[in-house]
Structure 1
Amino acid sequence: MTRHPHALDRRTFVTGAFATGALVAAGSTLCGCAAGAGTGTGGASAGKAALDSLNADVKPATDATVEANEGVYALLDFSDETEREFASRGLIAAPDTLEITGEDGKVVWSQKAYAFLDGAGNAGDVDETSAAFDADGTGPADAPDTANPSLWRNAQINHFYGLFEVVDGIYQVRGYDMTNITFVRGDTGWIVFDPLMSCECSRAAFQLVTDNLGERPVTGIVMSHPHVDHYGGIKGIVSEEEVAARAIPIIVPQGFAEHAVAENVYAGNAMGRRAGYQYGTFLEAGPQGKLSIGIGMGQSTGTVSYLAPNDTITATGETRTVDGVDMEFQMTPGTEAPAEMNTWFPGFKALWVAENCTATLHNLYTLRGAEVRDGNAWANYLMETLARYGSEAEVTFQAHNWPHWGTDFIKEYLTNTAAMYKFITDQTLMYLNQGYTQEEIAYLIELPAALEPHWYTRQYYGTISHNAKAVYQKYMGWYDANPVHLATLPPERSAAKFVEYFGDVDAVLAKAKDDFDASDYQWVAEVTNLIVFADPANQTARLLCADALEQMGYQAESGTWRNAYFTGAKELRNGVDADPKYRATVSSDIMRAMDVEMLLDYLGILIDANAAADTNLTVNLAFTDEEPYLLTMRSGIVLYQKGVRSDSADATLAMPRLGMLAILARNEDAQKKAISIEGDQDVIAKLTEHLVAFDFFFNIVEP
């Protein structure tokens, strides 16, 4: 088979240094000190003795980690302060400390927790933090050994918070949630872009605007895409009654509602749990804890709301004038979200790039789980953005991080961002067509040298590694064509067999400890996690796996990888912490906004069809406010037809659309009030007999 001239021979790749390397920057540079190390030969007795010293404490950086992090200073120009200057420009006001609480006193957002980054925590400290450099200008003097210096720098800049002017008439409150909330001044009020994730956060941000720019009503809302951090705080700035009474437009891209439900309801429980790993929800902030995630400081945990959109953009070039402000929209579906759009403000020469440009490499696949994104489309839409608006735009601003000013800079910013996604897509396809699998490609691919130095192309959120795997998945799916992998054993079974083949597990752990001492952290994590899946009670395996994950977290440039490593380590050491404080308070708004077919789909998702295999029902759904549906349960599988009625149905349910919520919740009192039944009076009980209650705090790093 012909290989690309720069590709490693498969035998060398699989068995050599790449098989055991420890990552310096997640998805980027390999730690040279680990190459070829960690065979475990000749050191079993020493390693076995060292196992007794393992404990559940957070550990300092090892010498190998210190060396790896020091090496980052040689890779990047830490004297280039362009992004820090952009992030601090235009500050109008910021409180001395910022901590937002809910009505119950729960802290839902805290910048106070990150005060260790710069001493006070807002853009007013930019002079102080900019000066915190070594005498030779090589990097921040205050970056600890337990943090990749590049990520530490990003965290410092992301820690700036307050009210900022983008241009006269466009303002952002940044650092009040994971997302920015933007206020565009109209003739009489504010047009608000992306009202954050939590109502408490958006309410506090709106108050900051009012206190400093005067009291003005909300006259329009634009939500760039259907991720919850871009719409969940909407009721913190406006009520459903106000929207109706003042005919406030809520403008979204086509497909917004459908995808908001798909991400936040259909797979919402699993995504929510996994998001805790990605965003560091279970972690304390600190030099040995969570930092930024590249697009902000993490996820708020306040009240999530939803208001149904009432104005949909369907095509690029569509325009709206809201409260005297002209806006032109560019559709960018399949980029950062399945439904997304940029906005051009010709009167301001300002370009809103939503989450398509975020001053970091973003995700083609997000670690919390979501549909794989189209890197090729992402690149092409950004080049279209450049063609349509690049010659006129004087500032770009976005839903995360900070604006970028200057037409020439913007052209480079758009081009280089597009180039990242195009390169990852094209090169993954180049490698997979040579027969490489996604795991191999993830180690082979790295950005060209011309793109690496830009601070806005660094891997703080997405990584080259997992984005390459996403491209592979998009085009090839999960299967790598090796028939051994067609029906692999579930992890508990395969782990048990591996451990059986190991023979003396203590000897294996002793070798793993030797490999840990040789800085072969990825291999140590893999082998010890096998033992954990075979025997979750093996404390030695748990603690050694945690220590290995921790060192990889210290080295990671990606904030999400750092969080995932640390959260896994925490749960291996201490178990899953099921405290409700780690969850956002989700209102029923999103459920109430679901149409009939979404509700029926969710009914099918909630039913354990194998347990309900003997259940066969036909039910007429006579909705009082929607068209009728015929629901058929066949062997526990939920099917439905719109506009169909059966004369031989087991029962007919007369109810409003929202009566379905009472069925899904198994709320008998609500069912009696909302639903009248003709026919089998037990039909609802039969429909819901095998509904599953999802456990949010399910295990991830153990069975």
Structure 2
Amino acid sequence: MRHLCLLLTAALLGGCGDEAATTTPLRSPEGLHAHSELFEREVIEVTEGVHVAVGFGLANSIMIEGDDGLIIIDTLESVEGAGKVLRAFRAISDKPVAAIIYTHNHTDHVFGAAAFAEGRDIPVYAHDSTAYYINRVINVVQPIITTRSMRMFGNHLEEDGLVNAGIGKALLLTPDHTLNALPPTHTFADRMHVSIAGVELELVHAPGETNDQIMVWYPAKRVLFSGDNIYETFPNLYTIRGTPHRDVLQWANSLDQMRALHAEHLVPSHTRPVSGADTITALLTDYRDAIRFVHDQTVRYMNHGLTPDDIIQRVTLPPHLAGHPWLQEYYGTVAWSVRSIFDGYLGWFDGNPAHLQPLPLAQKAAAMADLAGGAQALLERAVAAQENGEAQWALELTDYLLVVLPDDQRVTDLRAAALRTLGEAESNPNARHYYLTMAEELRDGLVPGFRMKTPPAFLASLPIENYMHTMPILLKAEETLEVDAHIGFRFTDTGKAFTLAIRRGVASVSEGETEGATATLVAPEQVWKEVAAGERNFLVTVAGSDMGVEGSRTGLLRFLSYFERR
């Protein structure tokens, strides 16, 4: 790949030609390389009958051996990755998988489930909100979450860019991987006792990194499976890929519940297991205290009227926690956590009236260029900042330069160089990957994100309501400000029917058909699911025999053209 142009004075004279191209490897901090030792691939015996597979994907997968079957806790991010874990587990036991337990909804914990089922119907245990959150990712925010996740996890980076992902070696997803989560069949709100293959377990709601997070307690062997509420790095109290707000008080409370168990073995769903009751209690206490410290001091300064920018300068972990090996910032950071806690209590407004109605970026950029003495002078200032080791300032100035000099390759090269400089110096993998991936986007026109294979069986397992109620967020409202119309959907295999309406820029979905529809689309549920998931071309499908139209076909096509395709 062509190296970013770092000869910025040459860039000012005429951009970076091929003679400046090179393939210099990316630099990375030594500490980040040492952190990779946590993710050496192996199956670890925690205690008799309990094994954890580490390093096969971003997360761990855990096997509990029962009398006549296996219990699998968490299933990796793809069917292919899960298949490798299953083969490793099969070297230990050939008993059939009797049940799967999801500790929460994240991709790296659920989408390999079908591999462990091996074509059989088996029970899947989860919190009663887990299916909701899986659907939220699949049908509501999938495009942006995919893009930001690919940046954060470094999926488009080569080996010298992606050292590790902080909580695992890497998120092992490519277009060749298959996503196939099995829907939960046994759910609960607060607590559930289960007996599976002669193994007695307690499933306990323990919100933290996610709202649906659970912990699994194996009292007979005093093993605690903690999900993602603890791993060997500072926790992602906020994640830059974007998720629902994480209530860090609940997270700390969940760790208190775990401490009260006095477990002999702790098996996180990321990083490596720990044994010894005193060691585990001390570890959970320090982890809990770090979260409470950041929360409490953020709220303290917030109540003094300080803004998030002010607070992050004041909130740093006390020395005994800052030096703790399980609290190094290889995943979350204290500063990101402060901002999220502030936002969770007070929302986006930081209290500074200058931020209530900020100038549009175009106007602000023009003013900044004027202050510098013109656009070229602003570019010179930004180049000087990069040359003087002030990459962050150079990056911020390019926000304005991209507006005032939108077609100037020198600006693009400068921004990419600043991003690369920041990425090479960054020990936090999330930030490192985001910087470096966006540098590649600028340099190569990289489009972050890709579509993985989605088996028909997985689509069939999802309720049709999930797909129908997603339609309003796809409406191109600006094209429909004078449109008042509706169409029907009738699904021949289940008899379910819906009305999709547009009312002057707003779309709504209701159950049942409504009189006066422009047209009604008639098809089996699976056909529409495959269209909605992007697995089928809509125009080809509606022209074929799998989908019928009652009423105006032209009107139906015009109506649906107001909605974006995924």
Is TM more than 0.5 here? yes
Aligned to 1:667: 538
CA distance in 1, matches of 2:416, 2:549: 55
Q: Could you list the per-position Cα deviations for residues 236-261 of structure 1 after superposition, in whole angstroms to 9, with x for gaps in the alignment?
A: 2224x411xxxx11111111111111
Alignment of 1:332-411 (within 5 A): 332-333=206-207, 335-387=208-260, 389=261, 391=262, 393-411=263-281
Report the Cα distance in structure 2 between the residues aligned to 1:398 and 1:649, rounded to whole angstroms: 53
Q: How many residues align?
A: 548
Shift of 1:618: 3.4
Q: Quick one: distance in 2 between partners of 1:584 and 1:681? A: 32
Q: Give the Cα–Cα distance (whole angstroms) in 2 for the partners of residues 219 and 189 of structure 1.
A: 5
Q: Could you tell me which residue of structure 2 aligns to residue 631 of structure 1?
A: 500
The corresponding residue for 1:231 is 110
Query: 1:358, 1:628 → 2: CA distance?
Result: 46
| Alignment-mate amino acid for residue 252 of structure 2 | A
Question: Are residues 265 and 629 of structure 1, via their aligned partners in 2, closer, same or farther at CA, if it must alter by over 3 Å?
Answer: closer
Equivalent position of 1:523 in the other structure: 393
* Distance in 2 separating the partners of 1:435 and 1:155: 41
The correspondence for 2:186, drawn from 296, 306, 311, is: 311
Q: Unpaired segments of 5 or more residues in structure 1?
A: 1-45, 62-145, 695-703
Give the deviation of 1:383 after TM superposition: 0.7
Which amino acid in the other structure matches residue 203 of structure 2? F
Contact 1:620 1:630 in 2 (8 A): yes
- Superposition pairs of residues 476-491 of structure 1, within 5 angstroms: 476-489=346-359, 491=361
Please give the alpha-carbon distance, in whole angstroms, between the structure 1 residues aligned to 2:483 and 2:286.
56
Counterpart check, 1:148 vs 2:29: yes
1:532 pairs with 2:402: yes
Q: Which residue identity does 1:319 align to in structure 2?
A: H
Match of 2:96 among 217, 225, 231: 217
Distance 1:636 1:422 in 2: 45
Find the partner of 1:562 among 432, 440, 458.
Answer: 432
Q: Sort the Cα spacing of 1:413 and 1:500 in 2 relative to 1 into closer, same or farther, 3 A.
A: same
Q: Which residue of 2 aligns with 1:186?
A: 66
CA–CA distance in structure 2, aligned partners of residues 292 and 677 of structure 1: 51
Q: d(CA) in 2 for partners of 1:381 and 1:415?
A: 11
CA distance in 2, matches of 1:417, 1:365: 16
Alignment match of 2:205 (pick from 311, 327, 331): 331
Partner residue of 1:297?
Answer: 169
TM-aligned CA distance change 1:271 to 1:533, over 3 Å: farther
Shift of 1:300: 1.0
Q: Is the 8 A contact 2:472 2:509 kept in 1?
A: no
The equivalent of 1:166 in structure 2 is: 46
Q: State the one-letter code of the partner of 2:181.
A: Y
- Output one character per residue of 1:333-363: Cα deviation in whole Å (capped at 9) or x when no partner: 3x21121100001122100000111111121
Structure 2 residue aligned with 1:250, among 95, 102, 124? Answer: 124
User: Who is 2:3 aligned against?
Assistant: none
Q: Is the 1:621–1:654 contact (alpha carbons within 8 Å) kept by the matching residues of 2?
A: yes
1:143-194 Cα shifts (integer Å, max 9, x gaps):
xxx3333322212332x11222111111122111111111111122221111
1:423 aligned residue: 293
Q: Deviations over 1:339-394 (max 9, x none)?
A: 1100001122100000111111121221111112111111111112222x1x2x11
Out of 510, 513, 517, the residue aligned to residue 641 of structure 1 is: 510
Q: Which residue of 1 aligns with 2:469?
A: 601
CA distance in 2, matches of 1:329, 1:167: 20
Q: Contact conserved, 2:476 with 2:563, CA < 8 A, in 1?
A: yes
TM-score, normalized by length of structure 2?
A: 0.89
Displacement of 1:201: 0.9
Task: Provide closer, same or farther for how the CA distance between residues 488 and 584 of structure 1 changes in structure 2, counting only shifts above 3 A.
Answer: farther
Deviation, structure 1 residue 444? 2.9
What is the alpha-carbon distance in structure 2 between the residues aligned to residue 191 and residue 496 of structure 1? 61
Measured after TM superposition, the shift of residue 495 of structure 1 is: 3.2
Q: Supply the AA of the counterpart residue of 1:377.
A: Q
Q: Is the 8 A contact 2:203 2:216 kept in 1?
A: yes
What SS does the aligned partner of 1:360 have?
coil
Higher RCO (Cα < 8 Å, 6 or more apart): 1
Q: What CA deviation, in whole Å up to 9, does each residue of 1:542-572 have, x standing for no partner?
A: 3333333333223322111111122222333
8 Å Cα contact 1:326/1:345 also seen in 2: yes
Large movers: runs of 4+ above 6 Å:
58-61
Distance 1:614 1:381, change over 3 A: same
Cα distance per residue 1:662-687 (max 9 Å; x no partner): 66356255456455554444453243
| 1:481-506 Cα shifts (integer Å, max 9, x gaps) | 33443343554554355335433444
Counterparts of 2:531 and 2:298 in 1: how far apart (Å)?
46
**Alpha carbons of 1:270 and 1:493: their partners in 2 closer, same or farther (altered >3 Å)?**
farther
Which residue is equivalent to 1:576? 445
Q: How does 1:451-490 map to 2 (within 5 A)?
A: 451-489=321-359
Q: Secondary structure at the match of 1:213?
A: coil
Letter of the 1:343 counterpart: V
In structure 2, the gaps of 5 or more residues are 1-6
Alpha-carbon distance in 1 for matches of 2:470, 2:370:
41
User: CA contact under 8 A between 1:259 and 1:338: conserved in structure 2?
Assistant: no
CA distance in 1: counterparts of 2:372 and 2:415, whole angstroms: 17
**By how many angstroms is 1:50 displaced?**
9.0
- Alpha-carbon distance in structure 2 between the residues aligned to 1:496 and 1:591: 49
- Superposed CA RMSD: 2.8
Structure-2 residue corresponding to 1:22:
none
How much has 1:266 moved relative to structure 2?
Answer: 0.9
Which one of 164, 175, 181 corresponds to residue 55 of structure 2?
175
- Deviation at 1:431? 1.9
Label 1:278 to 1:637 Cα distance change in 2 as closer, same or farther (>3 A).
same
Deviation at 1:693, TM superposition (A): 3.4
Question: Does the 8 A contact of 2:165 with 2:171 survive in 1?
Answer: no
Alignment partner, residue 687 of structure 1: 559
Q: Distance between the aligned counterparts of 1:579 and 1:432, measured in 2? A: 36
- CA spacing shift, 1:452–1:634, aligned 2, 3 Å: same
Map of 2:154 onto structure 1: 280
Choose 483-492 or 450-459, whichever is displaced more.
Answer: 483-492
Query: What do the CA deviations read for 1:523-543 (whole angstroms, capped 9, x no partner)?
Result: 122113431343343333333
The one-letter code sitting in structure 2 at the alignment partner of 1:467 is: S
User: Do the aligned residues in 2 keep the contact of 1:277 with 1:567 (CA within 8 Å)?
Assistant: yes
2:4 aligned partner: none
3-state SS in 1 of match to 2:402: helix
Structure 1 distance, partners of 2:439, 2:549, is 52
Deviation at 1:415, TM superposition (A): 1.3
CA distance in 1, matches of 2:518, 2:452: 40
Retained in 1: the 8 A contact 2:298–2:338? yes
**1:353 partner SS:** strand
Partner of residue 194 from structure 2, selected from 307, 320, 324: 320
Matched residues in 2 for 1:234 and 1:533: separation? 46
Partner Cα separation in structure 2 for residue 663 and residue 586 of structure 1: 12
Structure 2: how far apart are the matches of 1:352 and 1:345? 8
**CA gap 1:261/1:57 in 2 versus in 1, 3 angstroms:** farther
Does structure 1 residue 157 correspond to structure 2 residue 38? yes
Shift in CA distance, 457/187, structure 1 to aligned 2, threshold 3 Å: same
Instruction: Give yes or no for contact 1:516–1:548 (8 Å, CA) kept in 2.
Output: yes
| Sequence identity (%) | 26
Taking the aligned partners of 1:411 and 1:475, their CA distance within structure 2 comes to: 30
